């Protein structure tokens, strides 16, 4: 089948990487796959692939993708389209209608609808909500990346058709990336538990909470923390590390193109976010053998950890509680067989089977 996979932007982050994994898996099943991004973020080049056709529409705004997608649907006539992100989903469905496309279209939502839509008339988010209501019947499937998010959509829309389908996280390439060599002196020293966290250095990721938690944790435990990622909060976080005298305990490594090889050598992964969709990075770290400690933020962590069956949950924005959760993880790591069990729903075969079943495809 001719299949099109879409995302608004390419960067080393959740949605674009999830769509890349998804496109690769479709290609391994023998499908002819186009992976289309609206644009690559500054500093990024589109991923190269010998099995999928990766392209950019060079459009900064999602709305700017409308005309190129109409043209694409007419020229390439895909049988199935997988889109990710509510703004893009609306544009894709309108493009399919105008072009006369007969494709089955699966639209995935990746962030909480409470941040996407509004009940205040004539605001941008209210207008988006009206468009989404109008075009939803055109979709063959509407999905969310967590069960909690499905429940949120039921609060925002009347009888929405959304169902949960997880992202692909466990696949062959992920296991290959885990085995790559990593050069980090703290791993070589192997004298204290190594904690690791990863993500954009932005306020809602809660890294300042995590650094404050490290200040509390080191009163009773020996441990070190590596934070992978970059962003606008970096200088503030560096200043906080210096202020708390944690320079020998907390290290900001900046952007790394393969976090999985770091996860494989760490003991504990900490997710300190204030909000998530479904935190892929949490599942990736568990796949690599890290005991997880996560804030019980909306949405995803409680679902992934199954109410602490597979890890430790702590309140959002509470460094003291976060430190206590990390201490529990140091004292009582999650066994490997439970981590393996936890990530099975995110395996490529499981996810693909569910998508195809929902669309009525063989």
Q: What is the CATH number of the domain that holds 319?
A: 3.40.50.2000
Q: Look at residues 274, 235, 290 and name the one whose alpha carbon lies nearest to residue 114.
A: 274
pTM: 0.88
pLDDT < 50 positions in the chain: none
Question: Are 247 and 217 a contacting pair, CB within 8 Å?
Answer: no
- CA dist 320 → 6, 214, 239, 244, 295 (Å): 41, 9, 20, 15, 12
| pLDDT for position 59 | 97
Q: Are residues 222 and 107 in the same domain?
A: no
Question: Are 282 and 197 a contacting pair, CB within 8 Å?
Answer: no
Question: What is the rounded CA–CA span in Å between residue 23 and residue 7?
Answer: 11
Domain of residue 72 covers: 2-168+347-359
Q: Are residues 9 and 129 in the same domain?
A: yes
Q: Are residues 158 and 282 in the same domain?
A: no
Q: Are residues 229 and 351 in the same domain?
A: no
β pairing state of 163-164 and 141-144:
parallel
Q: Look at residues 262, 296, 307, 265 and name the one whose alpha carbon lies nearest to residue 281.
A: 262
Strand boundaries in 11-124, DSSP class E: 32-40, 53-56, 80-84, 104-109
Q: Are residues 163 and 190 in the same domain?
A: no
Q: Specify the number of domains making up the chain.
A: 2
Q: Are residues 141 and 9 in the same domain?
A: yes
| pLDDT for position 362 | 72
| pLDDT for position 198 | 97
| pLDDT for position 85 | 96
| pLDDT for position 190 | 79
| pLDDT for position 189 | 85
Beta bridge partners of 107: 83, 142
Q: Are residues 100 and 198 in the same domain?
A: no
| pLDDT for position 187 | 94
Q: Are residues 135 and 102 in the same domain?
A: yes
Q: Are residues 26 and 152 in the same domain?
A: yes
For the stretch 315-358, pLDDT in tens is 999 999 999 999 999 999 999 999 999 999 999 999 999 999 99
For residue 62, give the DSSP letter: G
| pLDDT for position 218 | 96
For the stretch 83-137, pLDDT in tens is 999 999 999 999 999 999 999 999 999 989 999 999 999 999 999 999 999 999 9
139 backbone dihedrals φ, ψ, rounded to 5°: -80, 145
């Amino acid at each position: 089948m001719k299949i099109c996979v879409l995302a608004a932007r390419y960067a080393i982050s959740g949605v674009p990487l999830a769509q890349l994994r998804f496109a690769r898996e479709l290609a391994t099943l023998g499908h002819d796959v186009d992976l289309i991004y609206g644009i690559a973020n500054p500093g990024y080049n589109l991923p190269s692939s010998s099995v999928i056709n990766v392209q950019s529409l060079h459009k900064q705004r999602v709305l700017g993708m409308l005309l190129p997608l109409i043209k694409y649907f007419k020229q390439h006539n895909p049988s199935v389209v997988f889109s990710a992100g509510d703004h893009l989903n609306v544009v894709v469905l309108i493009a399919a209608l105008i072009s006369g496309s007969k494709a089955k279209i699966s639209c995935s939502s990746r962030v909480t609808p409470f941040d996407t839509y509004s009940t205040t008339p004539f605001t941008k988010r209210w207008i988006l909500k009206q468009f989404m209501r109008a075009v939803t019947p055109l979709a063959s499937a509407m999905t969310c990346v967590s069960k909690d998010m499905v429940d949120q959509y039921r609060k925002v829309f009347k009888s929405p058709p959304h169902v949960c389908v997880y992202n692909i996280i466990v696949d062959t390439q992920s296991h290959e990336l885990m085995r790559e060599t990593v050069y980090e002196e703290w791993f070589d020293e192997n004298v204290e538990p190594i904690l690791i966290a990863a993500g954009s250095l932005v306020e809602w990721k809660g890294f300042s909470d995590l650094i404050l938690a490290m200040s509390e944790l080191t009163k009773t435990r020996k441990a070190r923390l590596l934070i992978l990622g970059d962003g606008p909060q970096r200088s503030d976080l560096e200043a906080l590390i210096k202020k708390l005298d944690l320079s020998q305990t907390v290290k900001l490594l900046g952007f790394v193109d393969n976090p999985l090889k770091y996860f494989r050598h760490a003991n504990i992964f900490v997710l300190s976010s204030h909000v998530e969709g479904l935190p892929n990075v949490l599942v990736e770290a568990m796949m690599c053998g890290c005991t997880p400690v996560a804030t019980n933020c909306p949405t995803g962590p409680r679902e992934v950890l199954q109410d602490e069956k597979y890890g430790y949950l702590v309140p959002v924005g509470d460094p003291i509680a976060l430190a206590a959760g990390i201490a529990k993880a140091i004292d009582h790591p999650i066994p490997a067989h439970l981590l393996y069990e936890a990530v099975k729903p995110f395996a490529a075969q499981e996810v693909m089977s569910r998508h195809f079943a929902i669309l009525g495809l063989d």
